[in-house]
Each structure stands twice: as structure tokens, then as C-alpha cells.
Amino acid sequence: MSETITAMASPNIALVKYWGKRGDGSLNLPNNSSVSFTLSENILNTKTSVAVAPDLKEDAIYINGELQPKDQKNEKTTFISKIIEEMRKNAGFSDNLLVVSNNSFPTGSGLASSASGASALVFALNEFLGLKLDSKELSIIARRISGSACRSMAGGFVYWKKGELDDGSDSYAEQIAPQSHWDVVDMIGIVNESRKKVSSSQGHSATTKTSVLYKSRPEYAEKNADLVVDAVRNRNFAALAEVVMRDSNNMHATMLDTWPPIRYLNDMSWDIIEAVHDLNGKNGESIAAYTFDAGPNAHVITTAQHANEVREMLSEVMGEGSRILEAPVGSGPKLLSEKDSLITGEFLKNI
């Protein structure tokens, strides 16, 4: 067992969305299957280091330099602690652990930091504890921390099966095409980096319970997932674009229909939606497709061939000084070298 293990993972962008959970929600079992592609770790990533902490009385988890409180109100940390304990027990390991995780992008702003964070943690723990779990098993564990994290356990284009079983053993993500399959790009317009008012976890529950429109979404999204899988396999961007935009619109419609309403998109988000349709109309074909997760930041999917056109469009709409990230398809989680560890002597002195 190494002294320290460090892993890096990246978020993914869902082309067909996951919104709404079945069961009591604790296992993050979706009401519909979803499809995504993993983003390049060179653009957005989470690094997580794991080490033994013999001098600590309990596990210590630091995220972006802050020690996470061990109380029931911190739902995400409670889940993380539970997963650490289960993986440690399965490995027959008893020492307390120090976990240090840093995001290269804002947490809680709708850029899927929980997906990259959970997948980096599970990947690092699997290696540190010597569990040798396969990709399916890792996907299921990551899903329990953050639903979309199961898709970040693989690189390239990924399909998350919703599953039918109550224990979630048939709800996991698998790669449908490798990173090299298609040169699509996610052009991310950073509209707002602030933490969102309504968390994704709160939104899932509220929409499922109160939205009249949501009743038709699972079946609609399941059909969309099949269409997107076909479009990806055939590299048919025109077919992909319409389904992706309609699916995003449909999900956000159910959010607005939630009571009280949930509004993640802002005026700039809507300006970008209109600009994408204008750009496609001007080209006489779909060269771009917008999609929005639970936040106002725009993900405009295009191909490498049209990336410059989309960047120019976003710059024009968002104005001078706007922040636009260009994220191609990523390779999935990977281990880093000892020199990349976040658990340095300097860090240990300050805790």
C-alpha cells in the first residue's frame, strides 16, 4: 500500500439529463437512463489525495482547503463518510484516513463538481485500499455519493442504465464509445460562478413530488437516451443537436412547474439559447446544441470544426471579459504521481 494515492477525475456533461429519483432517494437511482460525455481533465478536474492519518481520532475530509463538518446537516459529507467506511471495511483496513480534495472550478455552481469529486475519491480509495474493483462496481459506489458521478467513472461517451432493481445493482454507467470516437466539444459559457440557491438534491425531490409536467418526463427522456446513443454511434450531429436541446428544455420546464418554482436559468442563459438557434438558422443546419444542467452556465455542444464560430457567438452574447471554456472529450479518472499529492508537509503543518 502506497503512503499516499492521488487521483484526478473530471465532470461530464449530460446530453440526456438525470432529474428525479426513484425509491427513497438515498441510492440516487434515476427515473430514466441518461447519456453523457466526460470532459477533458485538462480543463475541469478534481484532484483527491488519500493517506493514513494515525494521529487523527477520526477520518478528516478537506474540500478546497476546508475541513468538512461531521454532522447530519452536511448530507454530502455524511454520504462520503459512509462510503469511506464501507470501502475500508471491505478492505479489512482499520486506520483513519485523511482525504484532501481540490476542484479546479467553482463548487456548487452547476458545473458538476460533485460528479468529478465523487469519482476521484472512489477511484483513489479503490487503489489506496487495494480493492481491485471493476468499472461497474466503481460506478455503483460513485453513484451513491452523487448520481451523475457514476458517469464520470468512464471516459469518452457514457450511458447510465436506470436499472429496475430496488438495491441499485443494475443501475450503473458504461462506456458506449471511446474518447477518440468523435471530436465533439463542450463550449462552456460561465454565466454565474455563485453557489446555486436550490441544490440539485433538493431540486430532484421537489420536482418529482410537485411537478405535474414531470409525470411524462421519464418515458420521454428514456426515448431520448436511445436516440442520442444512436446519434453518437453514427456521429450524426444534426440528430444529436435537436434531441439534446429539447431534452434540456423539457427538464427545465419541469423545474419551473415545481412548486415553489425552481429557476436555474437567468436572462443571459436565455440570450444564449436564442443565439444558438440563430447560429444554426444562419448555417442552414445544426452546428451547435445548448444544454443546461442545474445552473445558468451554458454548455454549447459542437464539433471541433465549428468551435471557433461557437466561441465567437458566445463572446458576442456574453460581452467583453466573458469566460468561455473549451472542453473536448476526456479520458476518465486516472492516478497521478506522488509529486502531485495534495497532502504535502506544508498542508500537514496547517491542519
For 258-315, the three-class secondary structure string (H helix, E strand, C coil) is CCCCCCCCCHHHHHHHHHHHHHHHHHCCCCEEEECCCCCCEEEEEEHHHHHHHHHHHH
Q: Distance between CA atoms of 211 and 225, rounded to whole angstroms?
A: 22
What mean pLDDT comes out for the span 170-196? 94
In contact, 2 and 128? CB cutoff 8 Å: yes
pLDDT tens sequence across 108-122 = 545 658 899 999 999
Spans of all domains in the chain: 4-349
Check residue 112 and give its pLDDT: 57
Check residue 1 and give its pLDDT: 44
- In what side-by-side order are the strands of the sheet with 288-291? 288-291, 298-303, 184-189, 324-328
Q: In sequence order, which residues have a C-beta less than 8 Å from that of residue 279 and are 6 or more positions away?
A: 287, 288, 309, 310, 313
Q: Distance between CA atoms of 44 and 187, rounded to whole angstroms?
A: 12
CA atoms within 13 A on the CB side of 136: 6
Q: Select the more confidently predicted residue: 195 or 305.
A: 305
What mean pLDDT, rounded, does the chain reach?
94
- Specify the amino acid at residue 342: L
Check residue 9 and give its pLDDT: 97
CA atoms within 13 A on the CB side of 326: 15
pLDDT tens sequence across 120-161 = 999 999 999 999 999 999 999 999 999 999 999 999 999 999
pLDDT tens sequence across 240-253 = 999 999 999 999 99
Q: Distance between CA atoms of 281 and 304, rounded to whole angstroms?
A: 19
What mean pLDDT comes out for the span 312-336? 96
What mean pLDDT comes out for the span 193-214? 92
Q: Distance between CA atoms of 22 and 117, rounded to whole angstroms?
A: 23
- In what side-by-side order are the strands of the sheet with 97-103? 66-67, 60-63, 97-103, 46-52, 4-9, 334-335
**Predicted confidence band at 195 (pLDDT cuts at 50, 70, 90)?**
confident
What mean pLDDT comes out for the span 79-97? 93
pLDDT tens sequence across 46-64 = 999 999 987 888 999 999 9
Check residue 74 and give its pLDDT: 65
Q: What's the CATH number for 4-349?
A: 3.30.230.10
**Predicted confidence band at 312 (pLDDT cuts at 50, 70, 90)?**
very high
Instruction: Give the CA distances from residue 213 to residues 55, 218, 258, 259, in Å, rounded to whole numbers and listed in that order.
Output: 53, 10, 9, 11
Q: Distance between CA atoms of 171 and 184, rounded to whole angstroms?
A: 26
Q: Select the more confidently predicted residue: 73 or 136.
A: 136
